[in-house]
Amino acid sequence: MLPPRSDFPADFVFGAATSAYQIEGSGAGGAGLSHWDTFAATPGNIADGSDGRVACDHLNRWPEDLDLVRDAGFDAYRFSASWARVMPDGVTLNPQGMDFYDRLVDGMVERGLKPFLTCHHWDLPADLAALGGWQNRDIAARFADLCVALHDRLGDRLASTATLNEPWCIAWLSHFLGHHAPGLRDIRAASRAMHHVLLAHGTAVQALRAEGAANLGIVLNFETAHPADDTPEARHAAEVQDAIYNQWFIRALMGQGYPQAALEGIGPHLPAGWQDDMALIAQPLDWLGVNYYTRRLYTAAPGLWPHVAEAPGPLPKTQMGWEIRPEGLTEFLTRLARDHTGALPLYVTENGMALEAGQDVTADARRVQFIGDHLRAVRAALAQGVDVRGFFYWSLLDNYEWAFGYGPRFGLVHVDYDSQTRTPKQSWHAFRAMLAGGDA
């Protein structure tokens, strides 16, 4: 059961979220190659050998997809712009690409949906990746140019603009753990990316403000890091993991400096003079986006820093193997307000679960339960006085789950990738009933 809409403030925003590379179809519309196209073209990187060239063909089917957002009764749609579509080489404007987002935003407005833009959700143009991507300090200026170009064309209709989605994934997951494009496992590359991604954010916010842009934020992901047992070693491992994942970005953004437990390993590899960038990184924000999915258990690993290894957890899991722990969402929302963000409005910009393909495609009662439990977790944070302004389900559609390919299905709407038929699942109907004010 989903909690009734009346449990939330009258102006609380309910939405569904997607990202460009995961749904649009990257191989059309004058787009350049992104580093996800090239990463996916390299054998062994993607579980099923797939890529995002067609994905959900949203580039052509977006009116039907926006109808699904509207018909569920959502207030808002969170989407991202593909950098390689807007600027195929990362620099030069592609009018055809920008026209697509112009039509898409018009389509949202026509349907009464608030457009929540994310300027970058991981599909870095391959030409910029070839210049070092997030390792190269110049990325900050290039990214600011992208954000300003998007604002100049779309800003008059946007309800909100986020600079980046999940900088931990852009930097650490992609340059240290090697799981995402560009697939590096290199502490120096990762450390530089950890800093430059924040520098790019700060540079972009400053440039956007100069253009008169309003309602600016950034979307961070948070994962509960618990010790796997009660040993000091496991407790230390969980603290280091928490510092890298849950504190690095928010502390820098709020002018609190990088956490010492992460600086121990990352500090020696940061670009020279990084301290001079910290004021620019800590630009005032209008809101923070919080993505929350799971908690993980950690134990000490021998060998090299960060001495952190993941241990299996006992809780029920999603298809991704992610433990389901809704109270972690309440904990993060209250912890953020208490330790970092104060009165800054928070949005849950992503929360959702994957189920396998092949299960009864639309009878996703487990997902309805998952969403209900997490909405109740948001309600608990509201009851404790945290200023949470909205909740976006990830994702509107089944889509390309990055290195996992098309196996995991997070959607409220099933997508048959052969026919591109969309079929709303039980969870979509549950949202529709709830948002219409009935029982879900």
User: In the complex with ligand IFM, which residue's Cβ is closer, 22 or 160?
Assistant: 22
Of the residues 166, 223, 323, 401, which is catalytic?
166
166 as an active site residue: the answer is yes
Interaction of residue 349 with ligand IFM, rule CB under 6 A: no
Interaction of residue 24 with ligand IFM, rule CB under 6 A: no
233 as an active site residue: the answer is no
Q: How far is the CB of 402 from ligand IFM (least distance, A)?
A: 6
d(CA 377, CA 219): 19
Interaction of residue 166 with ligand IFM, rule CB under 6 A: yes
Q: Which listed residue (62, 134, 143, 394) binds ligand IFM by CB under 6 A?
A: 394
Interaction of residue 291 with ligand IFM, rule CB under 6 A: yes
Interaction of residue 163 with ligand IFM, rule CB under 6 A: no
- 395 preceded by cis ω (within 30°)? yes
User: In the complex with ligand IFM, which residue's Cβ is closer, 207 or 377?
Assistant: 377
Write out 192-230 in H/E/C secondary structure: HHHHHHHHHHHHHHHHHHHCCCCCEEEEEEEEEEEECCC
Q: Which residues contact 399 (CB under 8 A, 6 or more apart)?
A: 18, 22, 23, 55, 56, 406, 410, 411, 415
Q: Which listed residue (223, 239, 350, 364) binds ligand IFM by CB under 6 A?
A: 350
Interaction of residue 239 with ligand IFM, rule CB under 6 A: no
Interaction of residue 364 with ligand IFM, rule CB under 6 A: no
CB–CB of 240/261 below 8 Å? yes
Q: Shortest CA distance to 341 belongs to which of 247, 424, 433? A: 247
User: In the complex with ligand IFM, which residue's Cβ is closer, 36 or 258?
Assistant: 36
Give residue 212's region: left, alpha or beta (phi > 0; psi -120 to 50): left
User: In the complex with ligand IFM, which residue's Cβ is closer, 19 or 174?
Assistant: 19
Q: How far is the CB of 40 from ligand IFM (least distance, A)?
A: 14
Q: How far is the CB of 17 from ligand IFM (least distance, A)?
A: 8
Interaction of residue 401 with ligand IFM, rule CB under 6 A: yes
User: In the complex with ligand IFM, which residue's Cβ is closer, 22 or 299?
Assistant: 22
Q: Shortest CA distance to 58 belongs to which of 35, 82, 38? A: 82
Interaction of residue 94 with ligand IFM, rule CB under 6 A: no
Cβ atoms within 10 Å, residue 276: 8
Which two three-digit tokens encode residue 183?
């697939």
CB–CB of 142/128 below 8 Å? yes
User: In the complex with ligand IFM, which residue's Cβ is closer, 112 or 321?
Assistant: 321
Q: Which residue reads 């949470």 in tokens?
A: 388
Interaction of residue 406 with ligand IFM, rule CB under 6 A: no
Of the residues 24, 331, 350, 401, which is catalytic?
350
Q: How far is the CB of 242 from ligand IFM (least distance, A)?
A: 19
Please report, for residues 3, 62, 218, 303, 402, the alpha-carbon distance to residue 396 in angstroms, rounded to integers and kept in the order given: 19, 12, 20, 42, 16
Q: Which listed residue (5, 15, 16, 19) binds ligand IFM by CB under 6 A?
A: 19
Q: Which residues contact 53 (CB under 8 A, 6 or more apart)?
A: 25, 26, 27, 37
CA pseudo-torsion sign 45, 49, 52, 58 = negative
The vertex-22 CA angle with 1 and 161, nearest 5°, equals 80
User: In the complex with ligand IFM, which residue's Cβ is closer, 330 or 351?
Assistant: 351
| Active site (catalytic) residues | 166, 350
Q: Which residues bind ligand IFM (CB under 6 A)?
A: 19, 22, 166, 291, 350, 394, 401, 410
